[in-house]
Amino acid sequence: MSDASKPGNDFTRRQFVHTSTAAIGAASLVSPSLGWIRGDDTIKVGLIGCGGRGTGAAGQALNADPGVVLWAMGDAFDDRLQSSHGNLVAHAGERVQVPEDRRFTGFDAYRKVVDSDVDVVILTTPPHFRPAHMRAAIDAGKHVFTEKPMAVDGTGVRSVIETAKMARERNLNLMSGFCWRYNMPNRECYARLHDGAIGDIHTVHSTYLTGPLGKRPRQEGWSDMEWQMRNWQHFNWLGGDHIVEQACHAVDKINWAMNNRPPSRCYAVGGRLCREGLESGDIYDHFGVLYEYDDGARAFHMCRQIPKCWGDNTEYIIGSEGNCSVNSWGPTQIIRNGSNEETWRFPRNGANPNMYQVEHDELFRAIRNGETINDGDFMAQSTLMSIMGREAAYGGGVVTYDDALNSQNRLGPSEYAFADLEMPPVPRPDDKGA
Ligand SMILES: NC(=O)c1ccc[n+]([C@@H]2O[C@H](COP(=O)([O-])OP(=O)(O)OC[C@H]3O[C@@H](n4cnc5c(N)ncnc54)[C@H](O)[C@@H]3O)[C@@H](O)[C@H]2O)c1
């Protein structure tokens, strides 16, 4: 549960983007720019978290540049690793160069991947582990592609902010899996909005209304830890609840529309209408969050994972001179003037390459050219906004951005072992005695 209201804040919204150098370890002041990777050099990639997204991302890395090879793989579980390895060999043949002794399993697999002479690391485990994995990779001088969300609690977000600063200082690429930022129609639409197409943006409403994710029922021989990890989306400590794990995309698009300026505070509702049984863990199935900004702007986010309901994944963006709707599933991007007449839409036959491939094309191009992409600021901020919404719903109170950023809350066990692990209770606002 949150302790977002604890005093003693060190971080503020203003400081967010300019984290103190003193907070970063001395090692980060060394600058081993990897601009030395020449056009004909092999780029060795390590994959940490060999599930659905990790296998996809590794495939996209291999597609992005003919000099990329997959060099090392790590996963908590051997069966996940071997199945991913088989799929990638089928996809890329001999460019998958991962012999048995560079296939690592267990909780320390990430370290072994990082230490195996790779140039780039792909982070695609459940988000609980992300801050530590990201720090290890950047600390070791690796370029990073990291899936969203970046963390599940304030402690993790602060670590990510510091790691992003280290990456910037060391000229290392740090690209996030907030993939809509790499979607060409959305990019063109948001660029028009930021050029003033609808005047000053004062209201945004984003939705992620969808069905539930698949559950993994417990199997004989699995410890509590193994069961929770294999069913990670349903446990707050591992996935951050669905507003953080999945709907963070829609929260990120609020953040994008607001030009990455953080809200001052939020309040929220949430609960669990249809989730039941142990496999449903401790997460909610719906949230509604109202974000308030210092200048009076407001953003509302609603997400739901309930079967047989109406679905929507749209941003409704309202400005002083018009409005815009961006439907990610359509996909449609439409801008209207103050009389609600359509003035622009992304053409049906416009270029719309696979955004997951665009991410890796841009990442590896940057690495080849000695350039750096650093998504650190917005990826940490969008993750924190999602966490704020969750904590406001769980706790029933108002959560400020600075309180969330300075929260000492750290979810999950302090040590990892395939052993007993208590089933967490479903959070209830009245637990707080409010
Ligand atoms: N950008 C997108 O559109 C998108 C889509 C899907 C998933 N994702 C994100 O990608 C991440 C992975 O999701 P997924 O769908 O691939 O899940 P998944 O369960 O298929 O894969 C996660 C893998 O990580 C492994 N793992 C768990 N803990 C580990 C640890 N400590 N060390 C090493 N490996 C560990 C698991 O065994 C599993 O193989 C999540 O953060 C998710 O939110 C993003």
Do both 85 and 189 map to the same domain? Answer: no
pLDDT of 22 strictly over 80:
no
- Compute, in angstroms, the gap from residue 75 CA to the centroid of ligand 1: 10
Amino acid (1-letter code) at residue 232: W
When pLDDT is cut at 50, 70 and 90, the band that residue 329 belongs to is confident
Domain CATH for 267: 3.30.360.10
Residue 26 has pLDDT above 50, yes or no: no
The predicted pLDDT at position 331 comes to 80
Give the residue-averaged pLDDT of 321-326: 98
* Beta-carbon count within 10 A of 27 CB: 12
SS3 for 140? Answer: coil
Residue in 47, 53, 228 to alter for ligand 1 test, most ligand atoms within 8 A of Cβ? 53
Nearest-CA neighbor of 199 among 343, 350, 385?
Answer: 343
Is residue 130 domain-shared with residue 230, that is, in the same domain?
A: no
Task: Report the alpha-carbon distance of residue 88 to residue 96 in Å, rounded.
Answer: 7
Residue 303 has a pLDDT of 98
**The total number of structural domains that make up the chain:** 2
Claim to verify: residue 220 and residue 80 sit in the same structural domain: no
80 lines ligand 1 (CB under 6 A): yes
Q: Would 411 be classed as within a structural domain?
A: no
Residues 270 and 223 both lie in one domain: yes
Q: Are residues 269 and 285 in the same domain?
A: yes
Q: How many CA atoms lie within 13 A of 8 on its CB side?
A: 5
Q: How far is the CA of 181 from the centre of ligand 1 (A)?
A: 20
Instruction: Give the pLDDT band (50/70/90) at residue 431.
Output: low
- Confidence band for 351, pLDDT divided at 50, 70 and 90: very high
Q: Are residues 58 and 111 in the same domain?
A: yes
Q: Are 287 and 324 members of one domain?
A: yes
Q: Where residue 13 falls among pLDDT bands split at 50, 70, 90? A: low
Q: Over range 185-189, report the average pLDDT.
A: 97
CA of 377 to the centre of ligand 1 (A): 22
More confident residue, 346 or 32: 346
pLDDT tens-place string over residues 69-120: 999 999 999 999 999 999 999 999 999 999 999 999 999 999 999 999 999 9
* Same domain? 103 vs 169: yes
**By the 8 A CB rule, do 127 and 152 touch?**
yes
CB 92 within 8 A of CB 81: no
Q: Indicate if the pLDDT at residue 198 is higher than 90.
A: yes
pLDDT band at 296 (very low <50, low <70, confident <90, very high): very high
Atom of ligand 1 at shortest range from CA of 232 = 19
Q: Which residues pair with 314 in a beta bridge?
A: 327
Residue 10 pLDDT class (50, 70, 90 cuts): very low
Break the chain down into helix, strand, coil percent, rounded to 5: 40, 20, 40
What confidence tier does 429 reach under pLDDT thresholds 50, 70, 90?
A: confident
Give domain status of residue 199, yes or no.
yes
The answer to whether residues 191 and 103 belong to one domain is no
In this structure, the answer to whether residues 268 and 362 fall within a common structural domain is: no
User: Average pLDDT of 59-74?
Assistant: 97
Question: Looking at the domain assignment, is residue 425 inside a domain?
Answer: no
Does 431 fall in a domain? no
190 and 163, same structural domain?
Answer: no
What is the mean predicted confidence (pLDDT) over 326-355?
94
Q: Look at residue 15 in the predicted model and tell me its pLDDT.
A: 44
In the 8-state DSSP scheme, what is residue 53?
Answer: H
* Spatial distance between the Cα atoms of 227 and 233, rounded to a whole number of angstroms: 11
Write down the pLDDT at residue 87: 98
For residue 331, being part of any structural domain is answered with: yes
What spacing in Å lies between the alpha carbon of 161 and ligand 1's midpoint? 21
C-alpha span between 238 and 111 (Å, rounded): 19
Q: What is the pLDDT of residue 12?
A: 52
The answer to whether residue 24 sits within a structural domain is: yes
Q: Supply the residue whose CA is at minimum distance from atom 43 of ligand 1.
A: 245
pLDDT digits (tens, 9 = 90+) for 108-155: 999 999 999 999 999 999 999 999 999 999 999 999 999 999 999 999
* pLDDT tens per residue, range 247-265: 999 999 999 999 999 999 9
By alpha-carbon position, which residue is closest to atom 30 of ligand 1?
76
Q: Which residues contact 279 (CB under 8 A, 6 or more apart)?
A: 215, 216, 217, 218, 231, 234
Average pLDDT estimate for 18-25: 33
The reply to whether 221 falls in a domain is yes
**Model pTM score:** 0.93
Take residue 191 and report the two structure tokens written for it. Answer: 């660029």
CA distances from 288 to 73, 206, 284, 285, 328 (A): 38, 10, 11, 11, 19
State how far the Cα of 187 lies from the Cα of 53, in Å rounded to an integer. Answer: 23
Provide the domain limits for residue 397: 184-351+384-406
Q: Where are the alpha helices (DSSP H) in 210-286?
A: 224-230, 236-239, 242-245, 248-257
pLDDT digits (tens, 9 = 90+) for 28-48: 333 344 455 766 789 999 999
Q: In the block, which residue shows the tokens 């160069």?
A: 97
**Which one-letter DSSP state was computed for residue 420?**
-
CATH classification at residue 59:
3.40.50.720
Q: Which of 27-36, 172-181, 226-235, 285-294 has the lowest mean pLDDT?
A: 27-36
Task: Give residue 29's identity as a one-letter amino acid code.
Answer: L
Same domain, 164 and 224: no
If you average pLDDT over residues 389-409, what whole number do you get? 96
Does residue 412 form part of some domain?
A: no
Pairing of strands 68-75, 43-48: parallel
Any bridge partners for residue 208, and if so which?
303
CA of 398 to the centre of ligand 1 (A): 31
Closest atom of ligand 1 relative to the 125 alpha carbon: 24
Q: What is the CA(52)–ligand 1 centre distance, in A? A: 7
The mean per-residue pLDDT over the stretch 187-206 comes to: 98
